[in-house]
């Protein structure tokens, strides 16, 4: 990132491509890599040490669909309103979204008649976006595609991205693209998981192939300055267990809000640049692994039925780091048709349709989509009323 020395923080072992759900005949040709992250002593950026090549991850059949969560739908509706009311006020203003997926955010702006373009290499997700009226370019956003978009659509007043910028190891190409495409007074707004929350709550499953960088405000501030931009505002948002919305502009074009210095100070007090903070996390996740495997083993031996709830990307890290297979969790239910009927990466736990959850209800559900806990627990009251219990594992293993 900044050419500073990177020191290894945590090694989560041999891991698969987290969204490569397999047909049974594909298990022998699965791709694995060593999932280890380190922290830069100079700029505090947390990053992977051995990247998984991008083409293995974001293939045309990438199965994640953002709109499978009602909570995310309302979050991105709010984002669309915010951008339209505060920035996209001119009739011809263009907004470009990097990683638009199934159009969860842009469909609101499209419906409001705002000039827009989504950019996403996932052809399946892009087709879903197009079906809801969103214009998408099936492509990676980088300097090349940005230059082509500039030629056809003109400059963008707003570039937005959620949970994607951190996924691009060669992040300089994204910022060079932004530099080409953004108007002189435009803003680049991106949201991503917050490393402080990951460390604080031992959300170790937020570390997987796609999350190449784990951002802190201090590390993003240093990164954007190096790439010729200025971080002008930051805001904590509760998405995915704790995220930050970063607003970046051309240097001097916008006032720098006090929020940036405030969060950088908070991070220093928290010890975000210190190695000891991260070592604590390592000890905590070893404890989670021991406790979770012990609990699942005891439940199995006592004849209790346990199912996984939500075939998340995160669950690849949990199951493969802990060594949890179909012997402990016979299947995972998930509402995403693209994942159903397949095996989970690495651990090879069958993914079954949502209807399998209540047919009949299990005794325990391992909540792998814990970031949607409020929404899911509200939806699954009947499961609890008839005696079912949830198993959560971060920051510590517990039954609720
Ligand atoms: O950063 C990323 C985020 C935005 O999405 C990507 N790198 C990949 C992906 O991460 P994830 O797979 O961990 O995301 P979610 O949103 O936690 O995935 C939830 C999963 O659970 C989906 O497969 C849908 C499923 N689900 C369900 O079966 N029933 C979700 C809800 C809310 C439900 O009620
Ligand atoms: N923004 C959505 C989707 C996040 S998942 C949300 O927050 O829910 C990450 C998305 O980024 C995937 O749809 C993936 O195909 C896309 N992606 C990955 N690398 C990209 C790149 N270089 N340019 C544009 N999109 C990319």
Question: Which among 399, 394, 400, 398 has a CA at the least distance from the CA of 284?
Answer: 394
Sign of the alpha-carbon dihedral angle for 361, 362, 368, 371: positive
pLDDT on residue 274? 84
pLDDT of residue 20: 98
Nearest residue (CA) to ligand 2, atom 10: 99
Confidence of residue 305 (pLDDT cuts 50, 70, 90): very high
| Amino acid 398: pLDDT | 98
Mutating to test ligand 1, I would choose from 17, 237, 239, 310 the residue with most ligand atoms within 8 A of its C-beta, which is 310
Q: Residue 66 C-alpha to ligand 2 middle, in angstroms?
A: 10
Q: Where are the alpha helices (DSSP H) in 87-170?
A: 106-111, 123-131, 143-153
Residue 58 near ligand 2, beta carbon < 6 Å? yes
pLDDT for res 273 = 81
Rounded to an integer, the average pLDDT of 238-267 is 98
Mean of all residue pLDDT scores within the chain: 97
Helices (H), 155-257: 171-181, 195-200, 217-226
List residues bridging with 367 in a β-sheet: 309
pLDDT of residue 277: 85
Inform me whether the pLDDT recorded for 198 exceeds 90. Answer: yes
pLDDT of residue 259 exceeding 90: yes
40 vs 5: CA distance, rounded Å: 6
Taking the C-alpha atoms of residue 254 and residue 187, their distance in angstroms, rounded to an integer, is: 9
User: Is the pLDDT confidence value at 15 over 90?
Assistant: yes
Radius of gyration over every alpha carbon of the chain, rounded to an integer in angstroms? 21
Confidence of residue 385 (pLDDT cuts 50, 70, 90): very high
Q: How far is the CA of 352 from the centre of ligand 1 (A)?
A: 15
Indicate whether 2 pLDDT > 90.
Answer: no
Q: Are strands 398-399 and 389-392 parallel, antiparallel or unpaired?
A: antiparallel
DSSP assignment, residue 275?
H
CA pair distance 179, 356, nearest whole angstrom: 48
CB-CB neighbours of 14 under 10 Å: 12
pLDDT, tens digit, 9 for 90 and up, residues 142-187: 999 999 999 999 999 999 999 999 999 999 999 999 999 999 999 9
Measuring CA to CA, which residue among 186, 252, 174 is closest to residue 220? 174
pLDDT of residue 226: 96
What's the number of CA atoms in the CB half-sphere (13 Å) around residue 251? 7
Residue 58 to residue 140: CA distance in whole angstroms: 9
What is the rounded CA–CA span in Å between residue 158 and residue 178? 10
Q: Is the peptide bond before 173 cis (omega within 30 degrees of 0)?
A: no
CA gap 142, 174 in Å, rounded = 5
What integer pLDDT is reported at residue 146 of this predicted model? 98
Confidence at residue 53, expressed as pLDDT on a 0 to 100 scale:
87
| Pocket around ligand 1 at a 6 A CB cut-off | 64, 68-69, 163, 210, 310-314, 334-336, 339, 354, 369, 371-372, 375-376, 379
Query: Is a pLDDT exceeding 90 seen at residue 1?
Result: no
Q: What is the pLDDT of residues 39-89, one digit of tens each?
A: 998 999 999 999 888 889 999 999 999 999 999 999 999 999 999 999 999
Is residue 125 in contact with ligand 2, taking CB distance under 6 Å?
Answer: yes
Nearest ligand 1 atom to alpha carbon 333 = 28
Contacts of 385 (CB under 8 A, 6+ apart): none
Looking up tokens 């095996």 gives 343
- Give 111-131 pLDDT, tens digit per residue: 999 999 999 999 999 999 999
3-state secondary structure of 52: coil
Examine the pLDDT at 303 and tell me if it is beyond 90.
yes
Closest Cα partner for 105 from 156, 152, 146, 163?
163
Q: Tell me the C-alpha distance between 261 and 265, whole Å.
A: 6
Does pLDDT of 276 surpass 90?
no
Q: Considering every ligand atom, which ligand is closest to the CA of 71?
A: 1
């Amino acid at each position: 990132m900044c050419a500073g020395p990177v020191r290894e923080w945590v090694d989560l072992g041999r891991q698969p491509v987290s969204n490569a759900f397999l047909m049974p005949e594909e298990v022998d040709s699965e791709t694995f890599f060593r999932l280890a992250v380190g922290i830069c002593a100079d700029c505090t950026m947390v990053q992977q040490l051995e990247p998984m090549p991008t083409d293995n991850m974001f293939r045309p059949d990438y199965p994640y669909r953002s709109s499978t969560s009602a909570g995310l739908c309302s979050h991105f509706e709010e984002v669309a309103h915010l951008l339209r009311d505060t920035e996209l006020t001119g009739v011809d203003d263009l907004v470009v979204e990097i990683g638009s997926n199934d159009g969860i955010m842009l469909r609101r702006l499209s419906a409001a008649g705002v000039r827009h373009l989504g950019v996403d290499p996932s052809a399946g997700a892009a087709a879903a976006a197009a079906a809801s009226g969103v214009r998408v370019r099936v492509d990676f956003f980088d300097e090349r595609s940005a230059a082509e978009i500039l030629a056809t659509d003109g400059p963008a007043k707003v570039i937005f991205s959620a949970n994607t910028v951190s996924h691009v190891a060669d992040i300089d190409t994204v910022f060079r693209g932004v530099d080409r495409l953004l108007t002189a007074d435009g803003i680049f707004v991106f949201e991503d998981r917050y490393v402080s929350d990951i460390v604080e709550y031992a959300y170790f499953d937020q570390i997987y192939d796609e999350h190449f960088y784990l951002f802190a405000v201090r590390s993003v501030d240093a990164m954007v300055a190096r790439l010729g931009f200025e971080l002008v505002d930051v805001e904590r948002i509760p998405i995915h267990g704790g995220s930050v919305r970063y607003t970046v502009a051309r240097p001097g074009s916008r006032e720098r809000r006090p929020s940036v210095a405030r969060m950088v100070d908070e991070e220093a007090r928290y010890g975000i640049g210190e190695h000891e903070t991260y070592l604590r996390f390592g000890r905590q996740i070893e404890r989670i692994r021991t406790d979770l495997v012990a609990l699942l083993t005891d439940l199995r031996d006592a004849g209790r039925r346990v199912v996984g709830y939500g075939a998340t990307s995160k669950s690849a890290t949990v199951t493969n780091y802990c060594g949890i297979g179909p012997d402990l969790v016979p299947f995972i239910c998930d509402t995403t048709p693209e994942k159903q009927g397949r095996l989970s990466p690495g651990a090879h736990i069958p993914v079954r349709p949502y209807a399998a959850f209540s047919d009949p209800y299990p005794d325990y559900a391992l909540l792998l989509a814990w970031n949607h806990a409020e929404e899911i627990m509200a939806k699954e009251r009947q499961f609890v009323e008839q005696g079912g219990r949830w198993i959560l594992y971060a920051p510590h293993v517990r039954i609720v």
